Amino acid sequence: MDYGFRRISCATFDIKIGDVKTNTEHILELIDTEQAKDTDVLVFPELCLTGYTCADMFLRRELTAAAEAGLCDITDETSGSDMIVVVGLPIRSEGKLFNCAAIICDGKILAVVPKTYLPNYNEFYEKRWFASANDAACDRVYICGQEVLFGNDILIETSDGLKLGCEICEDLWVTTPPSDRLAAAGANLIVNPSASNDIVSKREYRLKLVSMQSASCNVAYAYASAGSGESTTDVIYSGHQIIAECGSVKAQNYSYYLNEPMVTSALIDIEKIDNDQVRLNSYKPEFIQGVRSVRVDRSALEDVLPASVNAYPFVPSDVVRRKERCEEILSLQAAGLATRLRKTGMKKAVIGISGGLDSTLALLVTAEAFDMVGYPHSDIIAITMPGFGTTRQTKTSADHLMELIGADARTIDITAACRQHMADIGQPEDCYDVTYENIQARERTQILMDVANKNGGLVIGTGDLSELALGWCTYNGDHMSMYAVNVSIPKTLVRFIIETYAYEKASPAMRDVLIGVCNTIISPELLPPDENGNIKQSTEDTIGKYDLHDFFLYNYVRNGFPKDKLRALAYTAFPQICHKQVDDTLKTFMIRFRTNQFKRNCIPDGPKVGSVALSPRGDWRMPSDYS
């Protein structure tokens, strides 16, 4: 199966200035090496056939003739190969000299792209030799015995889904790069043969520039810069190579001195990029009128997958970034609630506390919001409502947490009310079915709503994004509130936000309680405990691990991946989990996600804090009766 991944490589070598024959040999060797690795696109630096720093030698006809001869050899070498190769060389056309990138595949030159913006400041003076693409007198060029499209308006479209556009070095550094138009016309990959020299801090700036352009254009971006061998008369080149995808740097490399050729490779996901472009509607039909397409037949390799896959897309792996992310999210949640309190004029909040992860986070958010608006914590009415499945462990955690927050702590036992309701509707007390469980959830919600009415307060919802995705909530029970602060926080992130609060803001006593909550088994506690009084009902034993569900949720909603691709990626992301468990959990996710839209269609307001959210008013619209 073609999962949509394409291998992109950037290559450089110890360039010999003006020695086209030797440079061609290096290029041919790298082409052979990358063909054996099933590389889809191979990008070489700007003017790599001659060297970028040839200066006035560019004006010598023998140099441009040698470059064309080298291009012919390279073109011949690609015959029979599906790999697209991008090489830089000077080309004469209509009495002008252009700094060009030739795009080659299977023995053909698909297009020649001339540089549009010529730097002519500081150490750069390209206008001394080259003309801009805007000054070209024709839109075709005759080279290596082929008549080839010529211009900065060309899109290479392959039969396996690649849509490749090209710009050269300085083209990226200007206000309106050619890649803007190419991306708007449908490009999903931009290649950039470059010769950007290095000075202090420029490499970091260049990395940000490439990353941001890939993000703003919603494309993959492959940047290959000149390296060792270029003239060091006034400047130094590091061969900086960058491959980015929609703002994320997939790979980068550089070296001030090359003993061996340097190649940087990464798999880009064109399916993800194309899904994003469709979702964001970035394709602009008016731009395609000014872009010429070259169609190329290629055979997509099947079963190409990355060697590693991020198992926790909602959670940054870097500890410092994770801490910052968690603090930012908590602030966003609190700001949303604070605004709602101020706008409604309500001075009190009502929240049910179970001693579990979600209600703990919701209470911390509420306390932060009260601090923002200057309300005392004593106006937070926190209610623990023990029922048939409540254990001493979670009840104790709830009591300690409410006390340490300084809330108006209350306990309302729901067992008698639930028994009365069971008797009223003829539900046996020993029949532990969905009715038995939902009676408790709805009784708790009724209490919270009535207490809120009685005290002029706002009921704070505790359910999280993962539960919403799976429908793991009782309709008109814990599914309902007046403001749902956790509605866009996945379960895998809830724990980290609480841990961050515990170590960064909490007192020692509260820290102990919060860490205890994080270490407690995830359970709705709706079924009776075991014989030792411990939690018997495990959510993850019933529906599968939240680690997997959140992985599926992110990649299904954010990236638009189909079931087969989710499965294949999960096998790589979670090597410690057996394939059967992955398969079973994926099946559960697909069924529950598609059949629980009716719950999502009527959820209360809540703050969006990340790129994945399921509000029917904003991010996810779906019919409740989807098959």
Which residues carry out catalysis?
46, 115, 169
Of the candidates 569, 375, 383, which has an alpha carbon nearest to the alpha carbon of residue 460?
A: 383
Q: Are 112 and 162 contacting, i.e. CB atoms less than 8 angstroms apart?
A: no
- Residue 396 has, within 13 A of its CA and on its CB side, a CA count of 8
CA distances from 611 to 398, 489, 557 (A): 31, 11, 9
As separate numbers, helices (DSSP H) first and strands (DSSP E) second, the chain gives: 19, 20
Task: Tell me the C-alpha distance between 218 and 275, whole Å.
Answer: 10
Of the candidates 385, 502, 373, 517, which has an alpha carbon nearest to the alpha carbon of residue 439?
A: 385
3-state secondary structure of 520: coil
What does the radius of gyration of the chain's CA atoms come to, in whole angstroms? 30
DSSP 8-state class, residue 67: H
Residue 1 in tokens: 């199966």
3-state secondary structure of 188: coil
- Pairing of the two strands 483-484 and 457-461: parallel
Q: Give CA angle at 336 (333, 337), nearest 5°.
A: 90
Q: Are 614 and 468 contacting, i.e. CB atoms less than 8 angstroms apart?
A: yes
> For the purposes of burial, counting CB atoms within 10 Å of the CB of 339, is it exposed (0-12), middle (13-18) or buried (19 or more)?
middle
> Assign residue 244 a region: left if phi > 0, alpha if psi is -120 to 50, beta otherwise?
beta
Of the candidates 88, 74, 78, which has an alpha carbon nearest to the alpha carbon of residue 35?
A: 78
- Which helix (H) or strand (E) segment holds residue 31: the answer is helix 20-36
Of the candidates 395, 369, 338, which has an alpha carbon nearest to the alpha carbon of residue 513?
A: 395
Q: Are 570 and 551 contacting, i.e. CB atoms less than 8 angstroms apart?
A: yes
Specify the residue for token string 């061609």: 24
Residue 438 in tokens: 């939902």
Q: Are 228 and 215 contacting, i.e. CB atoms less than 8 angstroms apart?
A: no
- Which helix (H) or strand (E) segment holds residue 544: the answer is none
